[in-house]
Amino acid sequence: MMKTFSVETVVSVLQSVVPAEERRVPLHEPVFEGNEWLYVKECLDTGWVSSVGKYVDRFEQMLCEYTGVKHAVAVVNGTAALHICLKLVDVQPGDEVLIPALTFVATANAVHYCGAIPHFVDSSQKTLGLDPVKLEQYLQEIADVRTDGCWNRQTGRRIKAVVPMHTFGHPVDLDRLVDVCQRYRLELVEDAAESLGSYYKGKHTGNWGKMSALSFNGNKLVTTGGGGAILTNDESLGRLAKHLTTTAKVPHPWAFLHDMVGYNYRLPNINAALGCAQLEKLPKFIERKRSLVQTYLHAFEKIEGVQLFTEPSFAESNYWLQVLLLDESYKDHRDELLEATDRAKIQTRPVWTPLHRLPMFQQCPRMDVSLAEQLERRIINIPSSPNLEAANHGEA
């Protein structure tokens, strides 16, 4: 029998899943239960704590092995990774870059760092990420494809790239997006910041774009405290990414020779040590998070007006953050629900403010983004830490 929707009912269901504690139940907290102490202590004991050391190389190799991508370059954060990705696909000042309106602000910031202009597109109900079908329809209206690329008839600017973000770990429809990019001469750069451990049709995200970016922020499934990585299957771009992110210093026993304007974006060895230990546990983390999905699905299956968002049929998601999706008729209860969970010491949060509404991006071009705006009013993220499911099953 279905239960009538109420804020109190939703809070009660959440309390039945998350452990009752004196402290606030966080949205997503890191789990350190492997070799983190051992590896970090080795860095401290040996003095190899900065941007050179064996753990940086090992971390990059582990990322390649896990994702299937040929080259990985560890950097200070996901935004830096995305910045370099855009530069390496030749995004120039004045270019437009197509990005979802519903994404974290870092996606647009990285575009701006290149002197380029974010161009906002709508989301898909199926993935919560960029909708390639709507994008193609929109490009048919505004784009001219020439020998020198794709041009916006309305602004007169070149449209250089598309940056899909795999929202909360759910991959976008990459086959369709790749097809759109090929026909409109657009570079594809995947913002895979949230999707380490997610697969599209059996292949890890980050393998479709010429360049891709990961994040290892403290709230990610794998954390290095702060950190990110550039992924590519292009050997020359991989070498150039490493060169640019290490101040473009030419190897030499003692001389300071730099042959390009570079960036001090290299990840320190001590952070990479933490990342190596975290990657060793990633399969277990994902197993727990996918189990947590089933726990939440069972808990909410008979509550009217709210549903748990689940992965699209073509994907296997890491479920980085669990999503409660309010029915359109109950969207006005979103803030009331956020306030009620806060009082109950359960951390929840709304999705990001659509970027076209932020003051610095209000004048940027955009298509009709009505679904993104609708989703913003309906999405609530709920506690998603891997250790929640461990607690439910009595794991140490």
Instruction: Report the pLDDT value the prediction gives residue 1, as an integer from 0 to 100.
Output: 77
* Domain contains 74: yes
* Domain contains 378: yes
pLDDT tens digits for 280-318? 999 999 999 999 999 999 999 999 999 999 999 999 999
Instruction: Report the pLDDT value the prediction gives residue 396, as an integer from 0 to 100.
Output: 44
Instruction: Report the pLDDT value the prediction gives residue 389, as an integer from 0 to 100.
Output: 75
Whole-angstrom distance, CA of residue 265 vs CA of residue 370: 37
Angle (deg, nearest 10), helices 334-343 and 7-17: 50
Whole-angstrom distance, CA of residue 304 vs CA of residue 19: 24
Same domain, 64 and 81: yes
Same domain, 244 and 119: yes
Same domain, 258 and 355: no
Task: Select from 246, 279, 312 the last residue of a domain.
Answer: 279
Whole-angstrom distance, CA of residue 379 vs CA of residue 306: 10
Same domain, 158 and 225: yes
Whole-angstrom distance, CA of residue 5 vs CA of residue 27: 23
Same domain, 79 and 126: yes
Task: Select from 236, 259, 279 the last residue of a domain.
Answer: 279
As for how many domains the chain has, the answer is 2
* Domain contains 2: no
CATH number at residue 118: 3.40.640.10
Same domain, 25 and 88: no
Whole-angstrom distance, CA of residue 190 vs CA of residue 214: 9
Joined together, the tokens standing for residue 10 give 């939703």
**Domain interval for residue 205:** 36-279
160: helix, coil or strand?
Answer: strand
Pick from 148, 213, 134: nearest CA to 177: 134
CATH number at residue 349: 3.90.1150.10
Same domain, 86 and 63: yes
* Domain contains 1: no
pLDDT beneath 50: ranges in the chain: 394, 396
Same domain, 237 and 321: no
Instruction: Report the pLDDT value the prediction gives residue 171, as an integer from 0 to 100.
Output: 98
